[in-house]
């Protein structure tokens, strides 16, 4: 899977899948935003995609292929 780097936390890059399908709100489409502060258990390893209206839509793990 391809990733885009969107941010970094204490020097560790945060990457998300290049495909935008993961961030679509199930109710309205693509209005979800990455929330690195939710669900992070170690250095932002997991990122939640939250819709401002409908809450968490999905959680991605950018480092899945490194575990
Ligand atoms: Zn929504």
In the reported structure, the alpha carbon of residue 36 is separated from the centroid of ligand 1 by a whole-number distance in angstroms of 18
In the reported structure, the alpha carbon of residue 14 is separated from the centroid of ligand 1 by a whole-number distance in angstroms of 23
In the reported structure, the alpha carbon of residue 67 is separated from the centroid of ligand 1 by a whole-number distance in angstroms of 31
- Integer Cα distance of 67 and 57 in angstroms: 23
Q: Would the pTM of this model clear 0.75, i.e. be above it?
A: no
- Please return the burial class of 20, using the count of CB atoms within 10 Å of its CB with bins 0-12, 13-18 and 19+: exposed
In the reported structure, the alpha carbon of residue 15 is separated from the centroid of ligand 1 by a whole-number distance in angstroms of 22
What is the structure's pLDDT at 26?
78
State the average pLDDT over residues 27-52: 69
Most confident of 11-15, 24-28, 34-38, 44-48: 24-28
For 7, the domain range is 3-66
Per the structure, the count of domains in the chain is: 1
Q: Using a pLDDT cut of 70, give the percent of the chain over it.
A: 58
């Amino acid at each position: 899977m391809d990733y885009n780097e969107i941010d970094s936390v204490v020097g560790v890059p945060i990457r998300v899948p290049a495909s935008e399908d993961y961030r679509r709100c199930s109710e309205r489409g693509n209005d979800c935003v990455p929330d690195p502060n939710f669900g992070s258990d170690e250095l932002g390893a997991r990122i939640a995609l939250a819709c401002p209206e409908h809450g968490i839509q999905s959680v991605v793990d950018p480092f899945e292929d490194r575990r």
